[in-house]
Amino acid sequence: MGHCKVHVLAKYRNGAKAGYGGHGPAGAFYGLQYLGRTNAAMGVKGSIATCSCMRLG
């Protein structure tokens, strides 16, 4: 069974940062959805999505 932790980070023009951490594909989906709404509201400069996966057991 694979374990995946997703970290999404966005930087905004005004220097503010927003982050979301979740587990698995659902975490990634909701994280990107959340950032999508925030980006639309604040105007995003750039967004980074990283996924670190490791095998357990």
pLDDT in tens, 23-57: 555 655 666 666 666 555 555 544 444 444 445 44
Under 8 Å between Cβ of 15 and 4: no
What does the block give as tokens for 56? 């357990």
**What pLDDT is attached to residue 50?**
45
Q: Identify the residue with better confidence: 52 or 14.
A: 14
**What pLDDT is attached to residue 30?**
64
Under 8 Å between Cβ of 18 and 35: yes
What does the block give as tokens for 48? 């980074």
**What pLDDT is attached to residue 37?**
64
Round to whole Å and give the CA distance between 47 and 10: 4
pTM for this prediction: 0.24
Round to whole Å and give the CA distance between 49 and 16: 17
Give residue for tokens 């909701």. Answer: 30
